[in-house]
Structure 1
Amino acid sequence: MRIRIIDAFTEEAFRGNQAGVCVLPDGDWPDEGWMQRVAAELNCAETAFTRPAGERWGLRWFTPATEVAMCGHATLATAHALHEDGLADEVRFATLSGELRTAVGPDGLITMDFPVSPPTPADAPPSLVDSLGVRPLGVYDTGDLGDLLVELPSATAVRELRPDLAGLAGLGTRCVIVTAPAEPGSGQDFVSRVFCPGVGVPEDPVTGSAHTALAPFWSMRFGVTSLVGLQASPRSGQVRVELRGSRVILQGYAVTVLDGVLTERAVRS
């Protein structure tokens, strides 16, 4: 069985966010425990499993620790894999988050159509300031996305943040998104970092799903619908976003860095 590691939201190998991608044959899903073991073995932020499902493709995502309901970078990586294999340039994915659509352009730019996750003001959990080590300007709930969005005073504060990951894991959210306006003249509109220790990902390098909340947040602040975000993790990656009513368009590139085969013993285990 073929399996790949694909770097998403980047045009360079070893940048952006790694995703495992396993394109399965037509038929039932494999055992969930097996998919979880494969994801743990690859140890990427998420590993995507996809299979034909009529006119659509089924798509599921697993971190090294658990299955998740939405993942942007692994969806982008899966679209790249299907395009690379000549199977599809435009795909409708059936997922736990509903139907997600992707399209690969002539230059390899991948466009994804996701539901928006509008953030709403929320009270800061009592341990948040101690866990972050900085006092936020605002705290926001992201609804079904399950993340906490935290506005920090500056891009420098985002870049220099060294949070207490155990404290963040204890908040009970999927992820904690920290964000601030980008530096003037940088070519980006906002910067972010995303920490998900509660689902086995200490810091996610580039998080497409987080941008479903970042897009409406900064769109309202800046009064525009198209923005460019930089996720300022050590691997770094850029996400182009466009707000379209109840949907958000995410765009980025992907690069395959490893293309291999699971052994027969691994497939049977």
Structure 2
Amino acid sequence: MSYKIYQVDAFADKIFKGNPAAVCPLPNWLDDNIMQKIAKENNLAETAFYIKKGNRYEIRWFTPEVEVDLCGHATLASAYVLFHLEGHDSNQINFYSPRSGELPVTKHGEIIMLNFPADTLEEITTPPELLAAFEVKPIAAFKGKTDIMLIFDKEEDIKKMKPSLEEIKKLPVRGVIITARGTNTDFVSRFFGPAVGVDEDPVTGSAHTSLVPYWAKQLHKESFTAIQLSERTGVLTCKLLGDRVEIGGQAKLYLRGEIYF
């Protein structure tokens, strides 16, 4: 038996930038254990699987260690595959996640726009593990649905940060977002998820469901440009739409192949 597989660099205008994701179109769902093994074999931050159901596509995402509730870059990569390689014949895709609901995607030229539910943030006291993990003390901390977000004073803090992944791993969360106002963009960020097998994610679309509502309040605006300051870097355009967030970027195909088992 064989299945198609693609690898796409998401939130990137050329290969070797942005965040690589594997995408596996399926005729029907495979056993969860098999999908987890495929994701572990791919050894990327995320592998997306989707099946067509009526006029929409059901989508799921796996890190090398676990299935996750929401993934932006792998959804963008899946949309790129459908728009450019799998014959989807309109500029809108209706994705559906059993864990996150309706996730519509639209194509505007080279830009693919995701429409995700906005996160709800609660300000918290910075956990001791995170005070130990970061050499610079954050000015505020927030807890969302799956992540903790730490606010820092300036972009340079985010660039230079070398956190203790072992301390971060102790927390019962998917990961930790760090962010500050940008020098040449509205805001910058990085994301660390060692508990789910992703030490540092190059570009994390889902983290922007937390970042955008926060920065909308701080900057008194609804549309943003953002950069994730990983080694590969990623550029995103974002907009707050009430209880939803638009997250957009480009994507580039890196490889296509087949899985045999």
Q: TM-score, with normalisation over the residues of structure 2?
A: 0.96
Question: Once the 2 structures are TM-superposed, how far is the Cα of residue 99 of structure 1 from its aligned partner?
Answer: 0.8
State how far apart, in whole Å, the 1-side matches of 2:158 and 2:120 are: 21
Match of 1:241 in 2: 238
Instruction: Give 1:193's aligned residue.
Output: 190
* Offset at residue 126 of structure 1 (A): 1.5
Q: Is the 8 A contact 1:159 1:232 kept in 2?
A: yes
What's the offset of the Cα at 1:127?
1.8
Deviates more, 1:219-228 or 1:125-134: 125-134
CA distance in 2, matches of 1:108, 1:34: 33
Match for residue 35 of structure 1?
A: 35
Aligned-partner SS, 1:238: strand
Residue 257 (structure 1) aligns with: 254
User: Equivalent residue for 2:175?
Assistant: 175
Aligned match of 1:155 = 155
Q: How far is 1:224 from its partner?
A: 0.4
Letter in 2 for 1:120: E
Matching residue of 1:6: 8
> C-alpha distance in 2, partners of 1:129/1:245?
33
Match of 1:225 among 222, 227, 244: 222
Instruction: Return the offset for 1:55.
Output: 1.5
Task: State the distance in 2 between where 1:127 and 1:34 align.
Answer: 34
Please give the secondary structure, in 2, of the residue aligned with 1:129. helix
Show the counterpart of 1:101.
Answer: 104
Query: Offset of 1:118 from its aligned partner?
Result: 3.0
Which deviates more from structure 2 when the two are superposed, residues 207-216 or residues 81-90? Answer: 81-90
Q: How many residues align?
A: 256
Amino acid of the structure 1 residue aligned with 2:233: S
Residues of 2 paired with 1:53 and 1:159: CA distance?
A: 43
Match of 1:121 in 2: 123
Match of 2:59 in 1: 59
Deviation at 1:206, TM superposition (A): 0.2
Q: Distance in 1 between matches of 2:5 and 2:194?
A: 25
SS in structure 2 of the partner of residue 113 of structure 1: strand
Q: For residue 135 of structure 1, what is the aligned residue in structure 2?
A: 137
TM (normalized to structure 1)? 0.93
1:211 is aligned to 2:208: yes
- Percent same amino acid at aligned positions? 39
Deviations along 1:122-160, whole A, 9 cap, x unmatched? Answer: 111122111112210000011x2x100000121101000
Aligned residue identity for 1:62: F
**For 2:106 and 2:58, how far apart are their aligned partners in 1?**
16
Deviation, structure 1 residue 104? 1.5
Q: Secondary structure at the match of 1:127?
A: helix
Runs of 4+ aligned residues of structure 1 deviating over 3 Å after TM superposition are none
Query: Which residue of 2 is the match for residue 19 of structure 1?
Result: 21
Q: In 1, distance between residues paired with 2:255 and 2:81?
A: 12
The CA RMSD over aligned residues, in Å, is: 0.9
